[in-house]
Chains A and B, each alone.
Chain A
Amino acid sequence: MKFVRVDMSAKTVKDQTVPDAYRGIGGRALTSSYINDHVPATCDPLGPDNVLIFAPGYFSGTPLVNTSRLSVGAKSPLTGGIKESNVGGTVAAALANLGITAIIVEGRAPVDGCWVLSIDEQGRAALLDAADCKGLRTYALVEKLKSIHGDHSSVTCIGPAGEFQLAAASIQTTDLDGRPCRAAGRGGLGAVMGAKGLKAIIVSRSGKLADPLAAPDAFKDAAKAYAKAVKADEFSGEILPALGSACLVAPINEAGALPTRNAREGQFEGAEKISGETMARIIRERGGKNTHKGCAQCIIDCSNEFVDPAGRYVTSSLEYETIWSMGAMIGNSDLDAIARLDFLCDDIGLDTISTGVAVAVAMDAGYKPFGDAAAAIAMVEEVAAGSVFGKLIGNGPAAVGRHFNHHRVPVMKGQSMAAYDPRAIQGMAVTYATSPMGGDHTAGWVVDQNLEAFGGTLDRFSAEGQVEASRATQLHMAAVDSVGICDFAQTGLASPEGIANVYRMMAAKSGNPFSEKAWQELGLRVLRAERAFNRRAGFTPADDHLPRMFYEEPLPPYNKVVVVSDAAMEKTFDF
């Protein structure tokens, strides 16, 4: 139970016992509380006053399945507000197994400095000069670091986009195969890492120092029931292993909610060519891997390895959001090109969502035609080349819109929306508009209420009930992101005890009682901290609205616009 504090200005590393104020929390609750408490809200996100914090979920390192989830927090250079970016892979479990509650990176190395933080199997951390790693793309970087530090480590790193301090730069981290293909993509936190001069964090995966459980047997009983429910659920036990998150392409497209050609339409005529069903068949025929395990302690195996016609590795894992952003959103139905773009983003260190939407805005502005996959690949390569246009793409869709003086830019608080058009699912309009994160689907995914049960329990084109649904889901997800359960493994909440099973595990780890009220307070604590930070950073209620295009341009084929009022949006969080 310790913080590893890294001062990049002084080049010092020291351990600190976790202060009382941050005991008993992890993940997003820890990162957002810490940033709100310690970062001047008006600071330059790329300056020395910003803090970059890496925190495993509270359940990371416990026997509970699907809990290798890492929260990365800072002030975002993309939104200007607080950010928590969440990622899987192996690093969260590795840190938790070393008894590390968080790594806190402060200050800033001199310009052009390039350092790596290495943490060994005893949890001892050291900053190492890594000038010879400067400029490396992530796959080459990981190979180089593995040759020095061995195979059994997790590497969390940035690519050229992070070094260039671009606002759509991701932080990549390695999967179980040691590939840097998992991304803390949103919010440009790769740029913060780059600004600090930190190229990579190498964490031993051999730690045996996890925080003890107060009641190990009770925890294991609850964890066992949770895992059983994850396996028994049709979605997490069958569909995700077969198709991965790409299983969403066909139904969301059919619902008219798949933003196409920079959100000019809600259905893509090429959707069948890029669907999860097609992807899984191609992977199978070419000898790639479906049902692939990407993250430590995962029992869902929603990952995949996409290969080319000769069976050679292209990327892992091809996911729904990327298939959308590099597919329908830019009018591209070439799955091989999408896979190439996914790999390039991982290798250069870019958020696939922001980058695909940036390309879509450029195409919408007439720079290149929609559907020109070769042009999209060239644009992304320009980011790594460091060209002026590449820096525009790497700074995300708002930067591209400003450059072309083009007003159709689907961003909220500067961050692009994800693969659910809010005009076809009104609850997503509320989440995109009001989340302190900016346009973010995981912050409050209310798609199921709007589409399932043969057409939804909410009228997806009506405002009725959408604010309430989004508010409840955002509060719940803030707690989920804090305990560090994989989004897809929430199916474990269907165990006989339901969410009370999670409360049992909270109590069994901490030794303190935990109730439904405590769960709600956890979510509230997170959102209060995030909104407080954003207010101090200058956000006002007007920032909880959507761009005009969503209110003014009816979305085919249902030809609907967002009907949730500004006043209703502003009341989503009345605290």
Chain B
Amino acid sequence: MTVQITVKLYGTLDRWVAGYNPDSGCGVHLAAQSTVADLIDHLGIPPRSVGLVSVNGRAAKKADALPDRALVKVFHPIFGG
């Protein structure tokens, strides 16, 4: 069993995914029960380069499981004001 995930990357995170299309994002297949941390690892993005992750419009934690057909948005660290 796998889950199909659509990923959208923000800031300069697109450089980690070759051929990334900012309009449509990218599709990823992962094993069922995969977590947010698994997805970040699969994409090859260093965890320190990730600030906030949302799953279907809700902020997520590293250990949150990814539902099938989820839209995951990955944001860079933020600072300042």
A and B pair up: yes
Number of B residues, CB within 8 Å of A:
28
Q: Is the interface of B mostly helix, strand, loop or mixed?
A: loop
CB neighbours of A275 from chain B (8 A): 10
Flag whether B19 is at the interface (Cβ < 8 A): no
Q: Sorted from nearest, which 9 A-B pairs have the closest CB atoms?
A: A251-B75, A445-B81, A454-B62, A452-B51, A455-B61, A441-B81, A442-B81, A254-B54, A239-B11
Interface string of A231-267 (1 = CB under 8 A from B): 0001110110011010110111011100000000001
Flag whether A447 is at the interface (Cβ < 8 A): yes
Flag whether A497 is at the interface (Cβ < 8 A): no
Closest chain B residue, CB of each to CB of A443: B81
**A82–B53 alpha-carbon span in the complex (Å):** 39
Flag whether B12 is at the interface (Cβ < 8 A): yes
Flag whether A557 is at the interface (Cβ < 8 A): yes
CB distance from B50 to the nearest CB of A (A): 7
Flag whether A367 is at the interface (Cβ < 8 A): no
CB neighbours of A524 from chain B (8 A): none
Closest chain A residue, CB of each to CB of B22: A277
In the bound complex, do residue A248 and residue B73 qualify as a contact, i.e. CB atoms below 8 Å apart? no
Flag whether A285 is at the interface (Cβ < 8 A): no
Flag whether A206 is at the interface (Cβ < 8 A): no
Interface string of B4-30 (1 = CB under 8 A from A): 000000111000000000100000000
In the bound complex, do residue B76 and residue A454 qualify as a contact, i.e. CB atoms below 8 Å apart? no
**A267–B59 alpha-carbon span in the complex (Å):** 12
Flag whether B78 is at the interface (Cβ < 8 A): yes
Interface string of B23-61 (1 = CB under 8 A from A): 000000000000011000000000111111110011111
With A247-B11, A454-B36, A454-B62 as given contacts, are A254 and B78 in contact (CB-CB < 8 Å)? no
With A234-B76, A254-B73, A455-B60 as given contacts, are A487 and B49 in contact (CB-CB < 8 Å)? no
With A451-B51, A451-B59, A454-B53 as given contacts, are A239 and B81 in contact (CB-CB < 8 Å)? no
CB neighbours of B50 from chain A (8 A): 454
**A254–B53 alpha-carbon span in the complex (Å):** 9
In the bound complex, do residue A234 and residue B77 qualify as a contact, i.e. CB atoms below 8 Å apart? yes
In the bound complex, do residue B10 and residue A445 qualify as a contact, i.e. CB atoms below 8 Å apart? no
CB neighbours of B51 from chain A (8 A): 251, 448, 451-453
In the bound complex, do residue B52 and residue A251 qualify as a contact, i.e. CB atoms below 8 Å apart? yes
CB distance from B15 to the nearest CB of A (A): 9
CB neighbours of A238 from chain B (8 A): 12
Flag whether A491 is at the interface (Cβ < 8 A): yes
CB neighbours of B57 from chain A (8 A): 254, 267, 557
**A234–B11 alpha-carbon span in the complex (Å):** 10
In the bound complex, do residue B75 and residue A254 qualify as a contact, i.e. CB atoms below 8 Å apart? yes
CB neighbours of A447 from chain B (8 A): 78, 81
Flag whether A313 is at the interface (Cβ < 8 A): no
CB neighbours of B78 from chain A (8 A): 235, 247-248, 251-252, 447-448, 451-452
Pick from A245, A276, A452, A490: contact of B77, CB under 8 Å: A452
Closest chain A residue, CB of each to CB of B62: A454
**A442–B81 alpha-carbon span in the complex (Å):** 6
CB distance from A219 to the nearest CB of B (A): 25
In the bound complex, do residue B61 and residue A250 qualify as a contact, i.e. CB atoms below 8 Å apart? no
**A238–B58 alpha-carbon span in the complex (Å):** 26
CB neighbours of B62 from chain A (8 A): 454-455
Flag whether A418 is at the interface (Cβ < 8 A): yes
In the bound complex, do residue A488 and residue B59 qualify as a contact, i.e. CB atoms below 8 Å apart? no
Beyond the given pairs A254-B57, A487-B81, 8 more chain A to chain B contacts, judged by CB atoms under 8 angstroms and listed by A's residue number, are A234-B49, A234-B76, A243-B12, A245-B81, A251-B51, A277-B11, A455-B59, A490-B80
Interface string of A430-451 (1 = CB under 8 A from B): 0000000000011001011001
In the bound complex, do residue A255 and residue B59 qualify as a contact, i.e. CB atoms below 8 Å apart? yes
CB neighbours of B61 from chain A (8 A): 454-455
**A539–B73 alpha-carbon span in the complex (Å):** 44
CB neighbours of A442 from chain B (8 A): 81
**A487–B54 alpha-carbon span in the complex (Å):** 27
With A239-B12, A254-B59, A455-B59 as given contacts, are A488 and B79 in contact (CB-CB < 8 Å)? yes
CB neighbours of B80 from chain A (8 A): 235, 245, 248, 445, 487-488, 490
CB neighbours of B37 from chain A (8 A): 454
A-B contact pairs, 21 of them (CB 8 A): A234-B12, A234-B77, A239-B11, A239-B76, A248-B80, A251-B75, A255-B59, A267-B57, A276-B11, A277-B22, A441-B81, A447-B81, A448-B51, A448-B77, A448-B78, A451-B52, A451-B78, A455-B61, A455-B62, A487-B80, A557-B58
CB distance from B43 to the nearest CB of A (A): 14
Closest chain B residue, CB of each to CB of A235: B79
Q: Which residues 267-294 of A sit at the B interface, judged by CB distance below 8 A?
A: 267, 275-277, 281
Closest chain B residue, CB of each to CB of A440: B81
**A239–B78 alpha-carbon span in the complex (Å):** 9
CB neighbours of B75 from chain A (8 A): 250-251, 254
**A276–B13 alpha-carbon span in the complex (Å):** 13
**A267–B50 alpha-carbon span in the complex (Å):** 21
With A239-B12, A242-B11 as given contacts, are A455 and B79 in contact (CB-CB < 8 Å)? no
CB neighbours of B54 from chain A (8 A): 254-255
